[in-house]
Amino acid sequence: MHIVIQDYGGYRFIYQLALELSGSFEVTYIHSSSSGGANGVYNSRENLNVVDIKLEGHSKSNLFKRRKKESLYGKRVSAYLCDQSVDLMVSTNTPLDAQKIISDSLRDTYHVIWVQDLLSIAIQSILKKKIPVIGDFISKYYHSIEKRCYKSSDQIITISEQLKEELLSWGIPNKIEVLPNWAPVEEIEVGNKNNEFSRKHDLQDKFVVLYSGSLGMKHNPDLIIDAALDLKDISEVHFLVISEGSGADYLKSYKDEHELENLSVLPFQDANVYNSVLATADLNLILLNADAQKYSVPSKAWSAMCSGRPLLTNMNMTNQVSRIISETNSGLVLSSDHSVTDGILKLFENPEVCTEMGNNARRYAELNFKINKIASLFINKSGFSNLLE
């Protein structure tokens, strides 16, 4: 039996799932190291074929170049699949222009779409501010594409109940299962703060507030700036941002213009440094604006939990991340954006609380992120178990 997992963004936990499934099935993992995300180095193994579809250039800000590139990705995935015998095709983290092409090419293949975010809503949120009138037309176009792709699939997996309920409200048939995301707890250690990375950046003796991962305007980077300004006179507190793209560029520009010495902005680090980055942190920021909180579930939260460090989020209690942080006492859920500084100060001034919350976070990850259990759940929720009978 041949499973193909197509993951444009190249996320580590999805590769981990592909690797686990390759113990029982022939698996192909397709991604693009040109996607602009924090792709790792993924190698083929026995029963696991890794296909990296490399594309020229990357521009998230230029919508026309981005659409052309993402459409090309969809065409290349479809061309690759034409030469394969596939029993189960899984699509995830796929831009809509690419997903439309891939979905249209899979008429005789059992196809599961694994929904990480509602992309047409994200597009609407961005375009209504940039180009209000035309943006509304474009948003409706992408909304129709997204609905069509979901309706044509054989099965849908969402990462939260909120996403499932929203899709049902769109008129999508109830062929939807929920499987929360995770992080590779077997690979992420609870590391020593005094490590090569922290010493290189002179952070080993600082209280480090880390933001690591995608950083667009929906992640509200102004909250990082505001907190850094509020705490600039406390030399022990330092903000570390690991990201690339518009949000990171915005922070760099502000840092240089206002000489914010307590803020460092670095590009995505190599995979072999990632554990040291997480270990350098004393606290992890998980931020989203109000619109994005409704449906987005930031996967960076799960990596932070694996690292044994507490989390601080501005997301309300309808979001899965906030609920888990609150239920497990693994960090702070803020009542408003204005309390980010207060939350940081609370944990900075109470190291015992910080340690306890970090331990709780790691405990939750160890109980819930075991990949063998997740792989079994995935097989059942994808409907693939029915194909094996």
Domain spans in the chain, listed from the N-terminal domain onward: 2-182+370-388, 196-368
Look at residue 237 and give its three-state secondary structure: strand
Q: How many CB atoms lie within 10 A of CB 229?
A: 15
- What is the CB-side half-sphere exposure of residue 362 using CA atoms within 13 A? 17
Is it true that 2-182+370-388 and 196-368 share their CATH fold?
yes
Helix (H) or strand (E) holding 222: helix 222-230
Helix (H) or strand (E) holding 6: strand 2-7
pLDDT of residue 336: 73
List, in sequence order, every beta strand (DSSP E) within 261-328. 263-266, 283-286, 311-313
Whole-number Å distance between alpha carbons of 189 and 218: 30
In the chain, which residues have pLDDT < 70? 37-39, 57-61, 337-338, 387-389
31 φ, ψ (degrees, to nearest 5): -150, 180
Q: Crossing angle for the helix pair 222-230 and 246-258, nearest 10 degrees?
A: 30
- Greatest Cα-to-Cα distance within the chain, rounded to the nearest angstrom: 65
Structure tokens at 149: 């792709």
pLDDT of residue 107: 79
Q: What is the 3-state secondary structure (H, E, C) of 186-224?
A: CCCCCCCCCCHHHHHCCCCCCEEEEEECCCCHHHCCHHH
Q: Crossing angle for the helix pair 63-82 and 96-104, nearest 10 degrees?
A: 20
Measured in whole angstroms, how far is the alpha carbon of residue 296 from the centre of its chain?
9
Superfamily of domain 196-368: Glycogen Phosphorylase B; (3.40.50.2000)
- Sign of the Cα torsion 318, 319, 324, 325 reads negative
Q: How many CB atoms lie within 10 A of CB 67?
A: 14
Please provide the CATH number assigned to the domain covering 2-182+370-388.
3.40.50.2000
